[in-house]
Structures are given as structure tokens and as C-alpha cells.
Structure 1
């Protein structure tokens, strides 16, 4: 069970200001305390995390207009959503029909979710990123349809990279042209250069110690094919790839703000939007969230996530629509999920602007304001991009092993090899 500490909540609700906690008034309006899914035959109840509600509302509105079926949203904060799901799906009755689930929850709740195999035709699977197809199937059965996805990509200050003074000075120092970095070495060099060139006005990059997914992406970039633990319980931490990933990750500390151990998504996004970072690896949706009054407004460039020996790799941040097996509206719920897939483009022009289908992202990648779609496509399609392991205890592994390891690794004098071995032992104790 998740423990709802403020630190954990800050790590998980990575969509910045969009994922605000629902107020009591909002919850009341959405029917958070409502009873069953069977009360009204013309209404579907959908359980959703606060930040994702906006993604689904246009779909729900059009679904109601075309079918006559109303969609009633129950909106909860991240930890509250997990606790509600856990209580009801593991109990004898549910108060909802459909739920939007974080990818890492699918393995924990699979036995209480309706199989969706009939929806995953070859045509459908061909329009979903390979990592998401893999993630949607738990023990060979599809239990969720991806409704939106995300991944970290590269953010950089165009005003700095295109400055003639920097374009002249960088080649003299590093022997190559100043371009948005694509490799670990290029990222290190650019972060080092801009840290020195900033003269205290800004940093080269950030290092996030209070999140795990950025290091997991680095792990895949290093060529590790097993993300921490495989489905048989074999733990990969301590490998040469894991050591290389952690060494690179912590090797950026000299060019980053202090206090890395406590830096989470919200803190890093704020630093970049305030003009304090020349480079940042961050979830793609943040491109559309730069405030108009920000010193970097109109100056933000984006590119695919960087790569190590294995090339570009990211961690998909997908959410899935799933049906509670206990719902009495199976056919209507299945119709809504199929409709959400068919009309995935309706989510694009929302505040987060995320989608899950390859064709939807491709159709908008050349539009003004959606420059982040092309690097997002490249990152999610990269061969080394892998989903997090489909094991029920994944969140426990994150909380008890990965986050503590990273937070210790970003402290002065850290022994990365020893920390990886300690984390390996901790993960082995979790998976048995």
C-alpha cells in the first residue's frame, strides 16, 4: 500500500502545477463519496486522478452527445486514487465502472480488472508505442488501454545555444559545434560549459535526487535490458550498466544547484521556468506549461532524450483506462474505452496536451506549439525505451530501495558501487 507522505506525492504528481489536489468542493461536485456504478443505467462513473480529468473531459462530452450516456468523474489526488482503487477492487463492491490507472498499478490490480484483449487488434497495437503495448498486458492479458502517455525529453535554452558568443567559445573549449546534446558526453560538456559561462546567473543542468524515473531512463540508456528486476525476481542492480548510469547521473552534480537530494519534478520545472537552468531532462508536457511571464518564454528548445551506449531511451509515463470486473456496466464501459481510443485526438488541445496514439502525435507534430511532439515520438519509439517492470511490488521497490539509493548517491563522498549493492539487497528482500 502506498504511504501518502508529501515527499512521495511530490515525486508522483509530476505534471507540475496541473496536478493540483482536489478541494472538498471539487470532490463533492465530482461525486467522490458516491455509491455504486449501478445506480443509473445511463451514467458511467469514471475514477480519475486530478490532473488527468481534463484529458478525458472532451472525450466524455462527445461520447455523451453521440451515445446519450453521461460520464460522471470522481476526481481524487494521486495517493487518494490509489487508496480508493485498492479498497474497492480488493473488496466486494465498487462505486465506479472505469478508472484511469497509472501504469505501475496495472500489475497490482490485474485480477480485479476486465480483460480488454478484444480491443487490442493488430491495427490498434500498431498505433501504440511498443513499450505501452507491453505495459498494457499483464501476464499475457490486456487490462488497460493507454489514453495518454509521456516521457522525458531534452529541454534547452535556445537563447543560450544560439548566442553567437557561445557558438564561438564552445568549439574552442570542446572541439565541436554547440548543438543540443544527444549523448551523455555532449550533455556533460554542455552542462559544464554553461555552468562556467553562467557566472552564477544560471546552472548548467539540474540533478533530481527525489525521483527515480530519470535515473531509470539513464539505466536503459546505458544498455541495461532489465529495469532493476525481471518478472522472475532476478535483480540487475550492481551491473556494469547500473554503475555507469549512476556515475553519469551523479557526475552532473558539479554543474547543478545544491540540494539535489530533495529536488523533485516540481522543483526542477520551477528552476527551468525561472531561467536558472541551461539544460533539463523533463516530461514533454512541460513544454506547453512555460508561463507567459517566464524569462524563458519563447526561448525553449526541445529534442529527444539523450542516450548512452544503447542510444536514446526514456521511461514511458502512461495512464490506462481499465474496467472494474465488479461493474454492472461492462458493455457500456467497454464502449467508452473503445471510444476514447478512437477519439484520442480530443485530448491534444487540453491543458496537458497529451495523447497515446502514434498517429495522433504524428498528425500534430508540425503544428505551432507542439514542437515537443517530434522528440516525444522519437524517444518513445527508441529501441532502448522500456516500461517499468510489471510486478505488484514496484512502488515498494521505488520507495524503499531506489529513491533512498539516489538520494544518498547525490550526497558528497557517496560510494556508488556500494549503494547499488545495498539497493540490490533491498530489492531482493522485497521480491523474495
Structure 2
């Protein structure tokens, strides 16, 4: 028998998921509905999020570093992690950012490149949400070109001394540990920096109109002295931080579709109930065109995310393919949110509905972890063999 049409899954993507994958998706969705949904509009409006409390909630659920193995991490698949990111971002991009920075940037860097001592010291408490981490790469004058970073680490006897600034750092002012990338005489190196180290400070960035339910900070390193074993021993050069960013970008491929789904569902429900000229606006052709276009792009983006997730689980996923996913899915998610806003009319700018919040957040997601321009040129280089963003 042909199953009935499901407006929440119009092309039947659930048929491609295992029961375990569906169960993880449902567990994250349920937790978000319980601990995030009742408060998220207020958190966004006030520019405050209880990051440490939420970290413990999601540590208890097992989603912090869930795609890593050992050290208290859940060891789940890339697809399962992606589905978790989708549900987290359906709640709010700031929430997915908290989890993504914790697991795919800070924890992944230590797990992939750290010493055994560094892993034992930090990963179990980070997986449990008892310790928060941040990832210091972007600088005030160096975003898309991290090779130009000015943060410097120099040897002084048996110690390292770090000086510099990092900018737009998620979790920065609430973190217990920062993974900081700096220039050294031997190239770019990563350092595990306890945030209570003398000379380290993380003033919070305020006056944001996007990602308001997220802690964003500057990192200031003023003669921060660290022992010799603070350096990540497993990598030298930019391949270290760039491989971490690729992990985070993969989560965004899924997460953006969560924000888009939330906006689409809100618009669909609104269109069925809002009456004008004696009938629901869902009965008008132009509204149906908007809903159909949104549904098609949402389904295509979810299929792309799932395909890339299966490739990642098969260890066949290339960085250029992650760029395709990040470029397409965030761009289309933002367009879905903007179209949903038009269906809601004036109500679309109210925090009583999630649409304008998702749209504002996605303006940041469009830029971070690689701008549209950079992912376009990454794909352009892969297609043509010419690196247009280098001299």
C-alpha cells in the first residue's frame, strides 16, 4: 500500500533512516521542547542564555562530542550527530552553536591532536557538560585568511607565552578551556589554555542583533604563560584548525535545515488558520507556490545533508563536499525563513513566532565557518584547478 502523504516529510526521507537514528532525533527534539522552547524567545530578546545549565542538560543527553569515541563520548555516527544538530537548530542556531563549538571544535581538537594527558584531563568533563570549551582562531583583522593571524606563542625557557586577540568566539566568556591557535617559530600550533590562566580574559560581545541566545566573546591573551605540554602535539600548520572547522561545518549542513523546517512549519500552520477575503490564505495560489517552493528546497537540503552524512560515515567525505553542503543549505534555509516571514505578514517579525529569530540567526550562520564567497571559491578551485582567492 502506498503510504499517505505527510506534509512534514513530503518525499519520505524517513524511509532512509534507521530506527536508532529516528530515536536519537526524537530524544533531542523532546529535550529541546522541554528545556529550550518555553524560554528561547525570552533568551533571544534579552540576549542571555543559561549556557552552563544547558551544557549539563545536553551532556546528560549525550550529544556533546557525540560523534567522538572514548573519554565519555557517545561514539555515535555522523548521521546521528547530524540529526541532533538539525533538532538543536530547529530550537535555535545559538543552541546548535553551543553544542557544535563544544564538540566539533574544542573537543574534536583535543581528541584528534591532543596528548593522552590532555584528553584525560578535559574530554570526560566536557562530554558531561561539566566543563565548557571554546575555539580561538578568528581574529579582529583575520577571518577568512587565518594564515595572517597575529596571535603569537614564543618559548621562554620551558614555557610558552601567548599574546594576541581572538574575536567572535562562541562560549568564550563561560568556557573553562580554550583551544587557541597561534603563530610560532615552527608554524601555527594549537594550545590548550585553561581560562583561569593569568593574562587570559574573555569580555563578552554585546549589542548583537543575531545569535542573541548565544555567548559570543573576544579572547584577550596578555602574556599568558603555559607549560610546555600545553601545546597540541599531534599537528602543525593550518591543517589543524581547518580540519576542526570542517567538522563544525558538517553540523551546520544539517543544522540549517532545522531552522528552515521550524520556519516552514510555522508558515504552513499559519497559512491554514489565517483567513483573508473569506478563506484561509493557504487556499490562495501565490501562498501555495511559496509553501511548495519551501517544501522542495527543504527536502533537497535534507537529502544533501543525509547523503554527506552517509559519505562521512563511510570515510569518503571530502572538504569540498562539505563546502557544497554549507553553501547550499544555509543559503536556502535563509531564503525559506524570508519567504515564511512574508506568509506571516506583520506577525512574521514577532517573537511570538520563530521565523524572524531564525532569519536573523542565519545571517550569522551564513558568514561563520566560512563565508559564501569562500565556499564558492573552494568549490570553484575544485572544479577548475585555479585558486582564485590566493595571489
Q: Which TM-score bucket, shorter chain as reference?
A: under 0.3
| Structure having greater relative contact order (Cα 8 Å, sep ≥ 6) | 1
- More helix as a share of residues: 2
